[in-house]
Chains A and B, each alone.
Chain A
């Protein structure tokens, strides 16, 4: 399958410490794949390798292959900036640019890409805010600072910012762990809308969240991919006893 993300024999290190070992993973396009596992299992590093964020850490190293729709993202000519445009990312802590207005936050990526036309910017910002289910709440205060929004709104603003440049993939690293249950539910609803058009990979500590929003689940342990399969199967009949121990809370 050429479509979607294909990870082959991916290894990653922080200095001398190896954090990922021979990961093979094929992410189905326009679906949600959850990565679960205990702290330090390599799940965040894995998604950071997908959009070439791992290598920006001093001393960090990547080996192996990551393809998007058949293209090698680590090919010598590949531009990491373009990779990150095609593969957006949302982090644990909402991180809107604090000095920018709501509008400018969403427009930032487009301006960086050279879009100057005001009408085009407006249209793209509105579309992205609609997409992120935030438009109705902020449409009358687009000029206000993004930092004044609630935590859940800030996270949706970050999602809008990521969506504005029309990525093919959205990576979400613990996107709800700083949010209350209602804000979490809104993000989860949003994920289920977005998956119709986008390929989503979500790292989460919350197993119920993985069970609720994802179609595929990968379980990582100590830098290795232990089990990957349909979410329903992984949570009802895991094949590996280590997965069973984790999803039933016997682990650790």
Chain B
């Protein structure tokens, strides 16, 4: 039986995906603001966070409405509860984009410490994880979701590598410390982006298989 409720659920998913697209773009643009030393672009990322927050509220309100009016069960229930968690992770990824943009604005005040190689690579990995986690959500693809969870380790090790490298700068010349710390922070923000993508992937596994894989359960 075709249900009107299915249209409501499809609409909710559309809004979530629009938000996902915006958030991915925010990370991409924040990184460009850093590598191209573009203050205007950084400011634009900061300003656009309002749109991300508006999506966050919209998805949450719509989800609560569907829970209240339709009392969904089983797969429908897992779909909506998953969306309510995913939207929080997306909103926080958006916050990380703002954090990166703010550090970029500060870094742009001073000469560039070093060529950025590992940070863009790390950003590219983290962004790919976000995209894949949302693709897994849309396609109910738990294999892809599990792949996202596995990719998190790569991002973590890139962060460690960046930290060690910047440590050598700081030890050899204390004047580099403010810039190095900001770059370390950016690597930390990107690592958090990957963590949020992992959370989304884990919720996809729950949604499809009813299995809780968070915190290494199951």
Residues of A within 8 A of B (CB): 207-208, 211, 235-238, 243-244, 247-252
Complex CA gap A92/B71 in Å reads 24
A244 to B210: give the CA distance in the assembly, Å. Answer: 13
Residue numbers in A under 8 Å from B1 (CB-CB): 249-252
Which of B3, B71, B78, B210 is close to A250, meaning CB atoms less than 8 Å apart?
Answer: B3
B11 at the interface (CB under 8 A from A): no
- The smallest C-beta distance from A252 to any residue of chain B, in angstroms, reads 6
Q: Which residues in A have their C-beta under 8 angstroms from that of B78?
A: 236-237
The answer to whether A247 and B74 have CB atoms under 8 Å apart is yes
Closest to A243 in B: B74
**Chain B residues closer than 8 Å to A235, beta-carbon distance:** 73-74, 77
Can you list 10 A-B contacts with CB-CB less than 8 angstroms, sorted by A residue number? A207-B73, A208-B71, A236-B74, A236-B77, A243-B74, A249-B1, A249-B3, A249-B5, A250-B3, A251-B1
Decide if B75 is an interface residue (CB 8 Å cutoff). yes
- Rank and list the top 6 A-B pairs by shortest CB-CB distance, nearest first: A237-B210, A247-B73, A235-B73, A244-B74, A248-B76, A247-B74
In the complex the two chains form, what is the Cα distance from A208 to B78 in whole Å?
16
Asked if A248 and B71 sit within 8 Å, CB to CB, the answer is no
For B3, the chain A residues whose CB sits under 8 A away are: 249-250
- For the complex formed, measure the closest distance between the CB of B182 and the CB atoms of chain A, giving whole angstroms: 45
Q: Which residue of the partner chain B has the closest CB to A250? A: B1
How far does the Cβ of B130 sit from chain A's closest Cβ, in whole Å? 27
Q: B203 to nearest A CB, angstroms?
A: 14
Q: Which residue of the partner chain A has the closest CB to B206?
A: A237
| Complex interface bits, B194-211 against A, C-beta within 8 A gives 1, otherwise 0 | 000000000000000010
Q: List, in ascending order, chain B residues with CB within 8 A of A237's CB.
A: 74, 78, 210
Q: Which of B68-83 contact A (CB under 8 A)?
A: 71-78
- Nearest CB on A from B151, distance (A): 27
Q: Which residues of A contact B76 (CB under 8 A)?
A: 248
Contacts of A207 in B (CB 8 A): 73
Interface centre among A207, A235, A243, by most chain B C-beta atoms within 10 angstroms, is A235
Q: How far is the CA of A208 from the CA of B77 in the complex (A)?
A: 13
Contact partners of B77 in chain A: CB under 8 A: 235-236
Besides the known contacts A235-B74, A244-B74, 6 further A-B residue pairs in the complex with CB atoms under 8 A apart: A236-B73, A236-B210, A238-B74, A247-B74, A249-B1, A251-B1
Whole-angstrom distance between the Cβ of A234 and the nearest chain B Cβ: 8
In the complex, what distance in Å separates the CA atom of A252 from the CA atom of B73?
A: 16
Which B residues are in CB contact (< 8 Å) with A249?
Answer: 1, 3, 5
**A240 nearest CB across to chain B (Å):** 11
Which residues of chain A have C-beta atoms less than 8 A from B74's C-beta? 235-238, 243-244, 247-248
Instruction: Give the contacts of B1-53 with A (CB-CB under 8 A).
Output: 1, 3, 5
A65 CB, nearest partner CB in chain B, Å = 32
User: Across the two chains, which residue of chain A brings its CB closest to B72?
Assistant: A248
